[in-house]
């Protein structure tokens, strides 16, 4: 039986491993196996949580875009009314 609360942890591990793998060897050479190995997990976990490599890459891109949106929102709130 799966442990409660492990899914967000595993998903985060795989997304971070995707960042690292792409940084180290590039998008073209990044495989589900290399990403899973970097995360210290099995390739089957990728399929379990994301379906396939495309699902993992989509989740990784959404993570990047969410971080960018949050950083932009913080900076806009902190900005002065004067555009200069």
Domains of the chain: 6-78 (1.10.357.10)
CB atoms within 10 A of CB 13: 18
What residue spans of 1-84 are helical by DSSP H? 6-25, 32-39, 43-50, 53-78
19 close to 12: Cβ distance less than 8 angstroms = no
Averages of pLDDT over runs of 10 residues in the chain (84 residues) are: 80 96 95 96 94 96 97 93 77
| pTM for the structure as a whole | 0.83
pLDDT at res. 47:
94
């Amino acid at each position: 039986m799966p442990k409660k609360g492990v899914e967000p942890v595993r998903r985060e591990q795989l997304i971070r491993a995707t960042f690292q793998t792409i940084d180290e060897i590039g998008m073209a050479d990044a495989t589900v196996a290399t990403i899973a190995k970097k995360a210290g997990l099995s390739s089957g976990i990728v399929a379990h949580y994301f379906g396939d490599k495309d699902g993992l890459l989509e989740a990784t891109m959404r993570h990047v875009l969410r971080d960018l949106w949050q950083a932009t929102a913080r900076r806009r709130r902190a900005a002065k009314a004067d555009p200069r």
